[in-house]
Amino acid sequence: MSGRADGLGEEIMSLAADMLCLDMRFLVQSVISLDVDVVPGSGRPVIGNGRVTFFEESVIADYRECNNLPARQLAHCAFHLLLGHSGDEVSDAVSLAEDIVVEYVLDSLDTPHTAIPGRDERMYACERSFKRAKAPVPLLMEGHISSLREWERGSYDSMFRRDDPAFRAPADDGRWAEMAQQAMAETEGFIRKTGEGSNALLSVLRIRNRRRYDYRGFLRKFMSRGTAVGEDPSEFDPIYYTYGLSTYGNMPLVDSLESSERRMLKEFVIAVDTSGSTMRESVETFLEETFSALMLSCDGKGSRLHVIQCDDMVRRDDVVGSKEDISELMSGFKLEGGGGTDFRPVFRYVDELIENGDLKNLKGLMYFTDGLGTYPERRPRYDAVFVFCDDRCRSHEVPPWAMKLEVTTAELRGFGGTP
Ligand SMILES: [Zn+2]
């Protein structure tokens, strides 16, 4: 703790930091590594690079109004950093949503030195907001917050803002992400003792700590690995490595082909779940990214890509073999279907294509879906990966023979942005 004003403000903030560590043990590391400055003047605290600047006049006035307020503000700022509310500029609505998420966690924890009046009103507004967005994810809350009427927006501002929204912390260099991992581990132990209050904290930490995928990198590897498997498997990611070997072990057809021939045949199946819940925009992004990865991984000659649309039955199968075919398919792409979700018809259909000789060297099948469906009981003869596009960051179970990728729309586009 350092600062230019040696006085009451400094003393209050030092006490606040102590109280915070006493209240929330999982936050100790974050509070210790945070530089808290108190400077003359008034205003809301400003979050910078691992540093929060408080203004003395406001600190004293806030403390007089409510003894817990400075600790609450400090906790609020520490949580922004811990939850990765930093880096690229965001809209005013997203920044307000970040404040709502932070305040919700603090109100849920409701610890002795951070509790402040107005909790019920804030909790009500938070829950309403999360319900609309379906998850406490700031980007998903943007729409709802933007649509609030002016007076409502104003009352949200005064309920949830604690720091100065004109300033945003620079991108995390990994330090805070690591502390978030640690906080989650500690909270998981702590929750058994304290129960419910920590559930909110754990759910936002889970979202923060979710593994991010480099979707393009995954595609590149998934599509190109066929030619090299068996020669140098060590260059592959463990998920393909452990999975790929067992699959290819059951595929004498592939193993008996010369590698030059294998390179010539580029067969791939992309299945799109067109049941009611699938979002059109994410399907388009998925197809665009997948096609461009495919184009990069092969020279386009002799490649055959099946694009199968299926809800609870196969609705359509487009075979594309060139860049031109792909652009044509994209320009007139309509989602066919809208029924329930069943993954089995696609696998049955693809098995038939193999039996008929339409597919001679299928490299893999990628199933794009956002929901629950029925999986085939038996392992297919080719690699299958289920790509779940779910901006709500829920996790999905797949059978042991399948690979899964859980991505957000932003990750599909290669942004890998903060949810
Ligand atoms: Zn804030």
pLDDT in 10s for each residue of the chain, 419 residues: 444 446 899 999 999 999 999 988 888 888 999 999 999 999 999 999 889 999 999 999 999 999 999 999 999 999 999 999 999 899 999 999 999 999 999 999 999 999 999 999 999 999 988 888 877 888 888 989 999 999 999 999 999 999 999 999 999 888 998 999 888 888 876 655 556 677 888 888 877 776 655 666 667 666 655 443 333 333 333 333 333 333 333 322 223 233 433 444 468 898 988 876 656 677 777 877 777 766 665 555 667 788 898 888 898 898 887 767 777 777 766 777 777 789 999 999 999 999 998 888 887 898 988 777 889 988 888 888 888 887 776 677 888 888 877 777 777 765 444 33
CA of 167 to the centre of ligand 1 (A): 10
Instruction: Give me the residue label for tokens 């099948």.
Output: 365
Cβ-based neighbours of 217, under 8 Å, separated by 6 or more: none
CA of 82 to the centre of ligand 1 (A): 12
Q: Per-residue pLDDT tens for 233-254?
A: 333 333 333 333 333 333 222 2
CA of 78 to the centre of ligand 1 (A): 9
Per-residue pLDDT, 12: 96
CA of 269 to the centre of ligand 1 (A): 46
End-to-end CA distance of the chain: 32
CA of 84 to the centre of ligand 1 (A): 12
CA of 138 to the centre of ligand 1 (A): 12
Cβ-based neighbours of 191, under 8 Å, separated by 6 or more: 198, 199, 202
Per-residue pLDDT, 4: 47
Contact status, residue 392 vs residue 141, Cβ threshold 8 Å: no
CA of 375 to the centre of ligand 1 (A): 44
Per-residue pLDDT, 415: 46
Q: What domains lie within the chain, and their CATH numbers?
A: 8-209 (no CATH), 215-412 (3.40.50.410)
Per-residue pLDDT, 400: 80
The C-alpha angle with vertex 10 and arms to 29 and 173, in degrees rounded to 5, equals 35
CA of 12 to the centre of ligand 1 (A): 20
CA of 105 to the centre of ligand 1 (A): 12
Per-residue pLDDT, 369: 87
CA of 98 to the centre of ligand 1 (A): 7
CA of 76 to the centre of ligand 1 (A): 6
CA of 99 to the centre of ligand 1 (A): 4
Cβ-based neighbours of 418, under 8 Å, separated by 6 or more: 84, 85, 87, 139
CA–CA dist 325, 364 (Å, integer): 20
Cβ-based neighbours of 381, under 8 Å, separated by 6 or more: 247, 250, 251, 351, 354, 362
SS3 of the chain: the string is CCCCCCCHHHHHHHHHHHHHHHHCHHHHHHHHCCEEEEECCCCCCEECCCEEEEEHHHHHHHHHHCCCHHHHHHHHHHHHHHCCCCCCCCCHHHHHHHHHHHHHHHHHHCCCCCCCCCHHHHHHHHHHHHHHHCCCCHHHHHHHHHCCCHHHHHHHHHHHCCCCCCCCCCCCCCHHHHHHHHHHHHHHHHHHHHCCHHHHHHHHHHHHHCCCCCHHHHHHHHHHHHHCCCCCHHHCCHHHHHHHHHHHHCCHHHHHCCHHHHHHCEEEEEEEECCCCCCHHHHHHHHHHHHHHHHHHCCCCCEEEEEEEECCCEEEEEEECCHHHHHHHHHCCCCCCCCCCECHHHHHHHHHHHHHCCCCCEEEEEEEECCCCECCCCCCCCCEEEEEECCCCCCCCCCCCCEEEEECHHHHCCCCCCC
Per-residue pLDDT, 211: 60
pTM above 0.85, yes or no: no
Per-residue pLDDT, 360: 84
Radius of gyration of the chain (CA): 26
CA of 166 to the centre of ligand 1 (A): 10
Per-residue pLDDT, 71: 97
Per-residue pLDDT, 118: 95
CA distances in angstroms from 206 to 203, 210, 336, 408, 415, listed in the order given:
5, 6, 35, 15, 20
Per-residue pLDDT, 196: 65
CA of 103 to the centre of ligand 1 (A): 8
CA of 211 to the centre of ligand 1 (A): 25
Of the candidates 152, 143, 161, 155, the one whose C-alpha atom is nearest the C-alpha of residue 93 is 143
CA of 81 to the centre of ligand 1 (A): 10
